[in-house]
Amino acid sequence: MHDTTNFEAAGRPAVFVASTEFIEAARAQSESLGFEPAAVFVPHPIQDRTDDEIRALADAALAEILENLTS
């Protein structure tokens, strides 16, 4: 979240990506920082997924990430 905020403050587009487990934490952090970054949430959990499952999550999120970066 801090990196996204810093990139945006420097004029560089950024998107915060996290699993759905962190939606509420991201909302609280956003309020604390006074900044609402573009965010994409992927299904949780992450750590026990295979490489192919991670690739599928990334592929599924890619269009939304690119849309946030270019809009």
For 39-65, the pLDDT digits (tens) are 999 999 999 999 999 999 999 999 999
Half-sphere exposure of 21 (CA within 13 A, CB side): 5
Distance of CA 56 to the CA centre of its chain: 16
> What pLDDT, on a 0 to 100 scale, did the predictor assign at position 46?
94
Mean pLDDT value of segment 36-40: 95
**Total tally of structural domains belonging to the chain:** 1
> What pLDDT, on a 0 to 100 scale, did the predictor assign at position 12?
96
pLDDT band of 21, cuts 50, 70, 90: very high
Query: What percent of the chain is predicted at pLDDT more than 90?
Result: 96
Range of the domain at 27: 2-70
